[in-house]
Amino acid sequence: MPHDPVDVLIIGAGAAGAAMAWSLSDTRMRILCLEQGDWMDPARYPSTSLDWESQGMGPMSLSPNTRGRVEDYPINDGDSPIRISNFNAVGGSTILYAAHFPRLHPSDFRVKSLDGVGDDWPIDYPTLEPFYADNDRMMGTAGLEGDPAYPPKKVPLPPVSLGKVGHTLARGFDRLGWHWWPSDSAIATRDYEGRAACINLGPCITGCAQGAKASTDLTYWPAAVRAGVELRTRSRVREITVDENGLANGALYYDAEGNLQEQRAEIVIVACNGVGTPRLLLNSASKQFPDGLANRSGLVGRNLMFHPYAMVTGLFHEPLEGYKGPTGCCLMSQEFYETDPARGFSRGYSFEILRGRGTVATALTGMSSGALPWGADHHDAYEKLFDRTAGMVIICEDLPEECNRVVIDPELLDSDGIPCPRIEYRLSDNSLAMLDHAVARGREVLEASGAHSTTAISPLPPAGWHLMGTARMGRDPERSVVNEWGRCHDVKNLFIVDGSIFVTSGAVNPTNTIQALSLYVADQIKQRLDRLFD
């Protein structure tokens, strides 16, 4: 029995779907969002328990394959040096993200023109700028105005605490004469729009029990639901359906009991992230679209970009209080962000300073590195490791390559029997050269900050946090999947608004841009309602 038809069906209640739902809610259209996960209960997040670190390695792991929650779908990433991280719930991956919230640079939209690699976006920074501003206000971005790495911009809240770790590293950057700036963070550093101020719990990436971190279950969704948007949870979409004219007319989905349901809609908007979206489109093959929905270009799933990450850690003699403060948000350096041909690679990277390791992570890391013996010498060695580490992740720009892609695994199924994604990905020579350069500079700044030894992991295997490029934006239907305002070239009432539509990746965390793009596409839809399908 089909449900009552809606005007707009949004698939996915994460970063992008939430922003889209809120923006469209002033149109008085009937809007429904289907989300395979459920509402989360922050009172049960790991930081409320002493075993919070262990929970982060299991039921609240970043990896869906490790978590194995019923709301998750498995991903075959065994053929990739970078493994996928995501979360499936109202709020999507913002539940577990670190909430680092920088914007792309103006140059990121003109990569081909400026540096002769990748492609240019069909839109530019000034086009997105007002939507970045709206998003900063809705999410409650904390930071410091005046960063010389960016055009001028307003920041609603003061920056997160740098703490001893941040001040120590800031002095190191200053000694080298390198850029650094307090991180733009989607963290309420003061009480903000019903959210309590950050109290420096530390483990943001297992969910924020304080509610200070801007996950969209706390930001956009309450406003969207108040405005009349229906959010239907535990509803996992199997495929988008099309009519005889090749227009999307709804979706088939499984409810929490595993019953197949049908939902009709006039407009369908996909917001399932850079892996989930191509999975859904490829699973929506039909007579009109035998190679997958909206895939006449053959580019659905291709040009997958992560950000190749490295982690560089320094060991210090003095305690750094590294267990305090947002784990991923402290300060950022973009000294090596813009292209310099003398470096031997195109494009660049950002340093993002991390807090120290927790007590359990200190022990397990010490065990695996051989630095922590058991037995009589255990406590001596532990004392030299615990709270003596500070370091960084280095986030490198990944350039689009068609060979890097998401395909449908021939065997892997989720709990509803829906085929699951497989990742085919390799690091380019450009990325490898960039990682080498970045690790060397990372060691340099840690030593300038006082570290007596450093270690590096490059690439960082579990760093598939940023999923981009698999339904890219562009004006040419043969070279892109969606047009310059997010509508699929092949299906005039089907839109995509997640990281899939990125043309290039930049070298910053993408969530602010994903949401700004979603708000921009929503605005385009509203401006064109009378001629949307022309």
Should residue 54 be labelled a site residue for another protein when binding is judged by CB under 8 A? yes
User: Binding residue for another protein (CB under 8 A) from 70, 123, 144, 252?
Assistant: 144
User: Binding residue for another protein (CB under 8 A) from 112, 154, 171, 426?
Assistant: 171
Residue from 252, 225, 245 nearest 31 by CA: 225
Smallest separation, CB 320 to another protein (Å): 12
Which two three-digit tokens encode residue 338?
A: 């813009």
Instruction: Give CA 110 to chain center in angstroms.
Output: 22
What is the DSSP code (8-state) at residue 142? Answer: B
Smallest separation, CB 443 to another protein (Å): 21
Residue from 58, 54, 49, 60 nearest 207 by CA: 60
Which two three-digit tokens encode residue 146?
A: 């005046």
Number of helical (H) and strand (E) elements in the chain, helices listed first: 12, 15
Give the interface segment with another protein, choosing from 10-18, 155-163, 411-419, 513-521 (CB under 8 A): 155-163
Should residue 321 be labelled a site residue for another protein when binding is judged by CB under 8 A? yes
Should residue 340 be labelled a site residue for another protein when binding is judged by CB under 8 A? no
Q: How far apart, in whole angstroms, are the C-alpha atoms of residue 91 and residue 70? A: 16
Give the interface segment with another protein, choosing from 52-60, 225-233, 252-260, 462-470 (CB under 8 A): 52-60
User: Which residues 210-269 are close enough to bind another protein by CB under 8 A?
Assistant: 210
Q: How far apart, in whole angstroms, are the C-alpha atoms of residue 469 and residue 454? A: 34
Smallest separation, CB 227 to another protein (Å): 31
Residue among 243 and 383 whose Cβ is closer to another protein: 383
Should residue 345 be labelled a site residue for another protein when binding is judged by CB under 8 A? no
User: Binding residue for another protein (CB under 8 A) from 73, 101, 125, 221?
Assistant: 125
Q: How far apart, in whole angstroms, are the C-alpha atoms of residue 215 and residue 233? A: 16
User: Which residues 440-499 are close enough to bind another protein by CB under 8 A?
Assistant: none
User: Binding residue for another protein (CB under 8 A) from 22, 386, 502, 520?
Assistant: 386
Smallest separation, CB 231 to another protein (Å): 26
SS (H, E, C) 319-369: CCCCCCCCCCCCEEECCCCCCCHHHCCCCCEEEEEECCCCHHHHHHHHHHH
Among all chains, which residue has been given the structure tokens 């190679």?
A: 291
Residues touching another protein: how many (CB under 8 A)? Answer: 72
Give the interface segment with another protein, choosing from 23-31, 377-385, 404-412, 525-533 (CB under 8 A): 377-385
Residue among 170 and 270 whose Cβ is closer to another protein: 170
Should residue 529 be labelled a site residue for another protein when binding is judged by CB under 8 A? no
What is the DSSP code (8-state) at residue 506? Answer: T
Should residue 163 be labelled a site residue for another protein when binding is judged by CB under 8 A? yes
User: Binding residue for another protein (CB under 8 A) from 338, 416, 444, 447?
Assistant: 338
Q: Which amino acid is at 221?
A: W
Which two three-digit tokens encode residue 466?
A: 């940023």
Nearest 5°: CA angle at 474, between 473 and 479? 105
Q: How far apart, in whole angstroms, are the C-alpha atoms of residue 111 and residue 120? A: 5
Should residue 369 be labelled a site residue for another protein when binding is judged by CB under 8 A? no
Q: Which amino acid is at 534?
A: D
Give the interface segment with another protein, choosing from 75-83, 202-210, 242-250, 495-503 (CB under 8 A): 202-210
Among all chains, which residue has been given the structure tokens 């307090």?
A: 182
Should residue 177 be labelled a site residue for another protein when binding is judged by CB under 8 A? yes
Should residue 48 be labelled a site residue for another protein when binding is judged by CB under 8 A? yes
Helix (H, G, I), strand (E, B) or coil at 41: coil
Should residue 191 be labelled a site residue for another protein when binding is judged by CB under 8 A? no
SS (H, E, C) 416-467: CCCEEEEEECCCCHHHHHHHHHHHHHHHHHHHHCCCCEEEEECCCCCCECCC
Should residue 376 be labelled a site residue for another protein when binding is judged by CB under 8 A? yes
Give the interface segment with another protein, choosing from 28-36, 71-79, 131-139, 379-387 (CB under 8 A): 379-387
User: Which residues 64-123 are close enough to bind another protein by CB under 8 A?
Assistant: 105-110, 113-114
User: Binding residue for another protein (CB under 8 A) from 159, 356, 400, 506?
Assistant: 159
Give the interface segment with another protein, choosing from 19-27, 319-327, 460-468, 511-519 (CB under 8 A): 319-327
Q: How far apart, in whole angstroms, are the C-alpha atoms of residue 304 and residue 274? A: 8
- Backbone angles phi and psi of 64, in degrees to 5: -65, -30
Smallest separation, CB 172 to another protein (Å): 11
User: Binding residue for another protein (CB under 8 A) from 33, 40, 133, 201?
Assistant: 201
User: Binding residue for another protein (CB under 8 A) from 167, 232, 343, 526?
Assistant: 167
Should residue 384 be labelled a site residue for another protein when binding is judged by CB under 8 A? no
Helix (H, G, I), strand (E, B) or coil at 95: helix
User: Binding residue for another protein (CB under 8 A) from 90, 186, 209, 312?
Assistant: 209
